[in-house]
Amino acid sequence: MKIDHAKPLEYSTEENRLKILGFWVFLGAEIVLFSTLFAVYFTLVNRTGNGPAGSHIFELTPVMVETIVLLSSSFTIGLGIHAMRIGAKKAMMTFFGITLVLGAVFLGVEITEFVTYVHEGATIQTSAFLSSLFTLLGTHGAHVTFGLLWGSAILFQVKKRGLTPETANKSFIFSLYWHFLDVVWIFIFSFVYLKGMM
Amino acid sequence: MKWDEFFVTGEPMIYAAMVSIVLVSVAIVAGLTYFKKWGYLWRNWLTTVDHKKIGVMYIIAALLMLFRGGVDALLMRAQTAVPENGLLDGQHYNEIFTTHGIIMILFMAMPFIIGLMNVVIPLQIGARDVAFPRLNAVSFWLFFFGAMLLNLSFVIGGSPDAGWSAYFPLASTEFSPTVGNNYYSLSLQIAGIGTLMTGINFLVTILKMRAPGMTLMKMPMFTWSILITSVIIIFAFPVLTVALALMMLDRQFGTQFFAMQNGGMDMLWANLFWVWGHPEVYIVILPAFGIYSEIIATFARKNLYGYKSMVISMVAISMLSFLVWVHHFYTMGHGVMVNSVFSITTMAIAIPTGVKIFNWLFTLRKGKITFSTPMLYALAFIPIFTIGGVTGVMLAMASADYQYHNTMFLVAHFHYVLIPGTVFAVIAGYHYWFPKVFGFRLNEKLGKWAFWFIAISFNVTFFPLFILGLNGMTRRMYTYSESTGFGPLNMLSMVGAVGLTIGFLLLVYNIYWSTRYAKRDTTGDPWDGRSLEWSTPSPVPEYNFAKTPVVTKLDAFWFSKKENTPLTDDGDYEPIHMPNNNGQPFIMGVAFFFFGFFMVFSWWIPAIIAGLVVLGTMAYRTFEQDHGHHISVEEIERTEKALRGEQS
Amino acid sequence: MKAKWFLLSIFFTLSLILSGCDNSLLVFDPKGPQAKTLSDTIIFSIIMMAGILLVVYILFTFMLVKYRASKMDDSYEPPHEEGSKWLEITWTIIPIIIVIVLSVVTVRTTSEVESKPVAYANDKPLVIYASSSNWKWHFSYPEEGIETVNYVNIPEDRPVEFRLYSFGPITSFWIPQLAGQKYAMSDMVTKINLAAEIPGSYIGKNSNFNGKDFAHMEFETQVMTEKDYEKWVEEVKETAPALTESEFDELIEPSVLGRKTYSSTHLEFSPAPEGEHAGHHHGNSDEETDSSHHMDMDMDMEDHK
């Protein structure tokens, strides 16, 4: 395995470079996936049937909490990657740990929010609008959940194996994934919640 | 659930299928055990990450599916051959045309193409494997087990019966209460994820792993077609993923996306389906164009005419393919404006396609044409596909489509596009690259007999359908009365279908005959080829190229033969790094299969367990440390000597 | 030479359809202005397409005959040709022109068949609601106050406006000799405008697959003289029973039925999904502003002409 020391660790081998490009392409596919879900949501947003409209169930506080938490986690994972670049394994692990904790908090708030909706009689089965809302949010939430599992697995590997071209590559790719989820959330926040509350 | 609901009962044909499935499975298990081949199967095939073997497995699976879909087709033709026929009842006929469509498009055409691209692309760009060999194996096993899951529906639970396009509300639990459409959503989902991964894999492979000197505009046309196809896959398949997920949610979790009440919108499904479905058509046709370009250039002994415009037209087709989906339902009543716009974008596709037809014709000009089996398919493609193309333009005219929509005219059109387009191409490509993989050519005489049977019978089968359509015969009718006058042409079509069957049987017999008797090819270049895959010996060694070729122009191998210049530098062999085999992709596929199966029947706890096994295989992958292995210089020397004989 | 014969036979079959059997095929045997427009459009496009096929086939045959290896000298080496700018431009421009011509024809004929037949622009159309349920068609005449199942009678020389919707899966309403088809869906109403000019009986059908007995979902369209039509309406009003809600509920259960006739329509107790009854209005307690319509993508098809 040829290691190119002129490049950052995560880009240092041919295999690593291929993986990063491959993941960018995968994110391209993910963009299409979420765009389709958004299109479905916008198509069905006014088709509320006998159920409540968005303006009746959306609440600003939990959504603001989710947004702040997720944005901060995107920032901390950025710090984590920076630490990784300068070879500070401890700092990197700390920032990754914080990121995952923030992700878990986000997930917790989102789940509570879902429970509240269901208590208000707004379930995924109530109307086409609610089906599309829960599916869009749920898909994002499932991505975050998967990210928590994946991120923990990587953190564990960094701890055991140190910063190698392999672990650095995985961590970097994970950070791309995490930033992507943040971007998706910004769209959800703006076009689902803010627009829905107006 | 009672047992007689679990297994499909009451049809002699289905009992026969059950018996044959059991017998074949027992025979395979017994055979493997008797000949002590379990280890061989596991080590060499089930765990392989070699793109060539994965390609071969794709093609074998596709051929099997071709026969499954073909039997469906024969039954349909037999049922409609005479008026008021009682061979099949309505329900059974509906299941058969539904699975025929799904299988032929998703489990025959696509995997056949993916199989060919697996075999050929790394060789054509001078690479030793694809970018992500393990992911490639995952793709294959997801496709394979997705296909198995759908086929299982025939005997357990019932097949999907709402057409391959599964329009809502017909596909909802209200009108389609069996688990058939659960099979549809889950098996396509599993196979679809595999396809998406293939798209990503080949995009990165082609962008990053080309031999030194091979710029984009020096790539063989087949490689170009796969590059563009990969991009279409990446943009189109996530839409299918979403559509199928919503379908599953609607059917099994009570959501209201496509419901008739509570704000649901049935036409949303049709839109999502065709936003994926139309690009899908180009996913199966662009690689075919690539294959024809290779074959026509080789057997005309001339470089491809208008290379640049060939590339530009493929890019144009790929972009237009995303802008035409509404032409599948002009009759939905969205007014003159919308229909006109989509008519024009659809007809516009004819322009780049026409450019390609003329470029192929002019590649033949001043050539020296030899009529080998692959070339016969490529040549037959031009006149027959053009009929498919011009009838496509006719269908694109929204007003006229009000008279063609849902009729046999449409059925005839898309078979005229897909069979000479995709099916002829994959058969041609299979004959063309067969010696590369196995080291001997298929028998030409048998190949030509099969070709004439297939080409002539195809027209006998499908041309009458144009006329039936214009006479008002709609598609998907399991029966019709004698007074309609549809009888004689349907009978003619049945005769053609029998001819097609003979042709395809000859094709398979040819494999058997040639394996036993065909002369081995020692040159690695039996057709006097033009691109890099012919520069390495056949069958291709595990590492593809002992030394990476260096490319200076298009058709590099052709010029190296003519100008007698070597493709590689003089340096010594170096150890070659290769990935290790691993059983994880296969096990992941099995887990996905069980996950899908349990989901079909809404058995949540087993489904969750199978889902956790899937996650477990992913966890195994992230924790494993596998750095592959190196092939030593001595081994390379030994292999090369054995394969190339004295000359090196 | 086999290939040549093969091509010739294809071409002969093609010209056969073009010339010989025009009159016997339903689509080429129109009985009203809309179907006539479509028939003319299709014949025009077939002629243009046959021209394209001819060019391709002549070139193809020429190349195969002239440049086969068996006719060539062994020493002949085909030249290296990059392509030709002018030839390639030619076979790009000509298809573009063809597509432009066809586009103009498409836009004109589409708007023609989507609106009231030109010759009857000033006549008041007869409105008939045609709704489908598995596997039958219900025809409601709101002005006459009558309803039929699986057959429809219309007067000649008068514009007819069919308003289509469905009580279940999507169907497609098609009377090939009178007009092109259109979908009937559960949450909105689509329209077909047509006129019939020759009395007679024409087959009508659902062309969109909708389950088990799809193949049997046909109906008869009887075109009558104005006088006969009025007589028939009177007769129905006098002799046929009224359609009750419970009977209608039974009717729309999945089944294959023969003809039925009633002296009242189901629209009175089960209105069509148009206007305030359209799909996305169903049970909507909330404000349904006009701006909401812009949110729906073009999939929603708010305006169907």
Residues of C in contact with A42 (CB under 8 A): 295, 297
CATH number for the domain that contains residue C254: 2.60.40.420
- Extract the tokens encoding A95: 């920032």
As a whole number, mean pLDDT of residues A74-87 equals 96
Does residue B328 carry a pLDDT above 50?
Answer: yes
| Residue ranges of domains in chain A | 60-197
Does residue A171 carry a pLDDT above 70?
Answer: yes
Q: Quick check: is C258 in a domain?
A: yes
Chain B (582-601) residues lying within 8 Å, Cβ to Cβ, of chain C: none
Instruction: Pick the more confident residue, C247 or C21.
Output: C247
As a whole number, mean pLDDT of residues C180-203 equals 95
> Is residue B165 within 8 angstroms of chain C, CB to CB?
no
Does residue B18 carry a pLDDT above 90?
Answer: no
Does residue B471 carry a pLDDT above 60?
Answer: yes
The answer to whether C167 and C243 have CB atoms below 8 angstroms apart is no
As a whole number, mean pLDDT of residues C225-251 equals 95
Using 50, 70 and 90 to split pLDDT, how confident is the model at C293?
very low
The answer to whether B141 and B614 have CB atoms below 8 angstroms apart is no
Q: Which of B206, B222, B371 is nearest to B293 (CA)?
A: B222
The answer to whether B372 and B428 have CB atoms below 8 angstroms apart is no
Question: For B14-23, B550-559, C288-297, which range has the lowest pLDDT when averaged over its residues?
Answer: C288-297
Q: Which of B210, B271, B265, B207 is nearest to B234 (CA)?
A: B207
The answer to whether A124 and A130 have CB atoms below 8 angstroms apart is yes
Using 50, 70 and 90 to split pLDDT, how confident is the model at C10?
low
> Is residue A50 within 8 angstroms of chain B, CB to CB?
yes
For the four alpha carbons of B525, B373, B225 and B100, in that order, the dihedral sign comes to negative
Burial class (CB in 10 A: 0-12, 13-18, 19+), B331: buried
User: How many residue pairs from chains A and B have C-beta atoms closer than 8 A?
Assistant: 117
- Extract the tokens encoding B516: 């036993």
Range of the domain at C218: 120-274
Instruction: Report the alpha-carbon angle B141-B68-B493, nearest 5.
Output: 145
Q: Which of B583, B584, B582, B605 is nearest to B595 (CA)?
A: B605
Please tell me the predicted confidence (pLDDT) of residue B6: 77
Q: Which of B151, B96, B104, B199 is nearest to B423 (CA)?
A: B104
Please tell me the predicted confidence (pLDDT) of residue C274: 86
Is the link from the previous residue into C135 a cis peptide, with omega within 30 of 0? yes
Cα–Cα dist B498/B574, whole Å: 55
Please tell me the predicted confidence (pLDDT) of residue C91: 92
Please tell me the predicted confidence (pLDDT) of residue C233: 96
Using 50, 70 and 90 to split pLDDT, how confident is the model at B20?
confident
Q: What percent of chain B has pLDDT over 70?
A: 98
Distance from the Cα of residue C135 to its chain's centroid: 19
Does residue B411 carry a pLDDT above 50?
Answer: yes
- Extract the tokens encoding C259: 């003809």
Say if the Cβ atoms of C13 and B366 lie within 8 Å: no
Residue whose entry in the numeric block shows the structure tokens 């000019």: C197
Does residue B303 carry a pLDDT above 90?
Answer: yes
As a whole number, mean pLDDT of residues B265-283 equals 95
Does residue C12 carry a pLDDT above 70?
Answer: no
Please tell me the predicted confidence (pLDDT) of residue B2: 64
Please tell me the predicted confidence (pLDDT) of residue C305: 34
Cα–Cα dist C69/B545, whole Å: 33
Q: How many CA atoms lie within 13 A of B627 on its CB side?
A: 7
Using 50, 70 and 90 to split pLDDT, how confident is the model at B568?
confident
| pLDDT tens track for B107-161 | 999 999 999 999 999 999 999 999 999 999 999 999 999 999 999 998 898 899 9
Say if the Cβ atoms of B255 and A33 lie within 8 Å: no
Q: Please provide the average confidence, as pLDDT, over all residues in chain B.
A: 93
User: How many residue pairs from chains A and C have C-beta atoms closer than 8 A?
Assistant: 25
Say if the Cβ atoms of B262 and A166 lie within 8 Å: no
Residues of A in contact with C279 (CB under 8 A): 47
Query: Testing the interface with B: which of C207, C292, C296 to mutate, by most B Cβ within 10 A?
Result: C207
- Extract the tokens encoding B419: 């069979």
Cα–Cα dist B284/B418, whole Å: 8
3-state SS, residue C181: strand
Distance from the Cα of residue B468 to its chain's centroid: 29
Cα–Cα dist C209/C172, whole Å: 9
* Torsion (CA) B531, B535, B537, B540 in degrees, nearest 10: -50
Selecting from A44, A130, A154 the residue whose C-beta is nearest the C-beta of B265 gives A44
**Minimal Cα distance from C293: which residue of A?**
A46
Cα–Cα dist C116/C122, whole Å: 9
Q: Which of A15, A28, A11 is nearest to B205 (CA)?
A: A15
As a whole number, mean pLDDT of residues A175-179 equals 97
Q: Quick check: is C179 in a domain?
A: yes
Q: Quick check: is C139 in a domain?
A: yes
Please tell me the predicted confidence (pLDDT) of residue C288: 39
3-state SS, residue C190: strand
Structural domain total, chain C: 1
| pLDDT tens track for B92-106 | 999 999 999 999 999
Question: For B107-121, C15-29, C120-134, C215-229, which range has the lowest pLDDT when averaged over its residues?
Answer: C15-29
Gyration radius from chain A CA atoms: 19
Chain B (169-208) residues lying within 8 Å, Cβ to Cβ, of chain C: 169-170, 174-176
Residues of A in contact with B209 (CB under 8 A): 18
- Extract the tokens encoding C17: 């359809």
Does residue C150 carry a pLDDT above 80?
Answer: yes
Say if the Cβ atoms of A49 and C300 lie within 8 Å: no
Through-space distance between the first and last CA atoms of chain B, rounded to whole angstroms: 68
Q: Which of B331, B324, B433, B323 is nearest to B373 (CA)?
A: B433
Please tell me the predicted confidence (pLDDT) of residue B431: 97
| pLDDT tens track for C15-37 | 555 544 445 799 999 999 999 99
> Is residue B231 within 8 angstroms of chain A, CB to CB?
no
Please tell me the predicted confidence (pLDDT) of residue C16: 56
Q: Please provide the average confidence, as pLDDT, over all residues in chain C.
A: 86
Cα–Cα dist A99/A108, whole Å: 14
Query: Testing the interface with B: which of A11, A16, A40, A130 to mutate, by most B Cβ within 10 A?
Result: A40
Q: Quick check: is C70 in a domain?
A: no
Cα–Cα dist B208/B205, whole Å: 5
Q: Quick check: is C35 in a domain?
A: no
Domain A60-197 has CATH 1.20.120.80: yes
Q: How many CA atoms lie within 13 A of B102 on its CB side?
A: 34
Does residue C49 carry a pLDDT above 60?
Answer: yes
Query: Testing the interface with B: which of C27, C70, C89, C189 to mutate, by most B Cβ within 10 A?
Result: C27
Q: Which of B457, B464, B467 is nearest to B424 (CA)?
A: B457
Question: For B533-542, C256-265, C277-286, which range has the lowest pLDDT when averaged over its residues?
Answer: C277-286
Q: Which of B329, B460, B349 is nearest to B401 (CA)?
A: B329
Query: Residue B106: what are its φ and ψ, rounded to 5°?
Result: -90, -30
> Is residue B367 within 8 angstroms of chain C, CB to CB?
yes
Say if the Cβ atoms of A150 and B255 lie within 8 Å: no
Query: Testing the interface with C: which of A35, A38, A47 to mutate, by most C Cβ within 10 A?
Result: A47
Residues of C in contact with A49 (CB under 8 A): 282-284
Q: Quick check: is C190 in a domain?
A: yes
Using 50, 70 and 90 to split pLDDT, how confident is the model at B30?
confident
> Is residue B276 within 8 angstroms of chain A, CB to CB?
no
Question: For A1-15, A171-185, B176-190, B277-291, which range has the lowest pLDDT when averaged over its residues?
Answer: A1-15
The answer to whether C77 and B562 have CB atoms below 8 angstroms apart is no
Please tell me the predicted confidence (pLDDT) of residue C116: 92
Chain B (65-124) residues lying within 8 Å, Cβ to Cβ, of chain C: 90-91, 94
Does residue A33 carry a pLDDT above 60?
Answer: yes
pTM above 0.90, yes or no: yes
Say if the Cβ atoms of C296 and A49 lie within 8 Å: no
| pLDDT tens track for B500-511 | 999 999 999 999
- Identify the bridge partners of residue B576 per DSSP, sorted by sequence position: B631
**Minimal Cα distance from C279: which residue of A?**
A47
Q: How many CB atoms lie within 10 A of CB B158?
A: 23
Through-space distance between the first and last CA atoms of chain A, rounded to whole angstroms: 56
Does residue A5 carry a pLDDT above 90?
Answer: no
Q: Quick check: is C158 in a domain?
A: yes
Q: Quick check: is C93 in a domain?
A: no
Say if the Cβ atoms of B266 and C38 lie within 8 Å: no
Say if the Cβ atoms of A22 and B262 lie within 8 Å: no
- Extract the tokens encoding B314: 């493929």
Using 50, 70 and 90 to split pLDDT, how confident is the model at C138?
very high
Please tell me the predicted confidence (pLDDT) of residue B441: 95
Instruction: Pick the more confident residue, C73 or B339.
Output: B339
> Is residue A131 within 8 angstroms of chain B, CB to CB?
yes
Q: Write down the ipTM of this complex.
A: 0.96
Query: Residue B453: what are its φ and ψ, rounded to 5°?
Result: -60, -50
Instruction: Pick the more confident residue, C275 or A90.
Output: A90
Please name the helix (run of DSSP H) or strand (run of DSSP E) that holds residue C274, with its range, or none.
none
As a whole number, mean pLDDT of residues B252-261 equals 94
Residues of C in contact with B377 (CB under 8 A): none
Sheet holding C146-149: strands in order across? Answer: C190-194, C160-166, C126-133, C136-141, C146-149, C260-262
Say if the Cβ atoms of C296 and A46 lie within 8 Å: yes
The answer to whether B505 and B516 have CB atoms below 8 angstroms apart is no
Does residue C290 carry a pLDDT above 50?
Answer: no
Gyration radius from chain B CA atoms: 25
**Minimal Cα distance from B577: which residue of A?**
A1
* Torsion (CA) A34, A38, A39, A42 in degrees, nearest 10: 180
Q: Which of B187, B132, B128, B125 is nearest to B154 (CA)?
A: B187
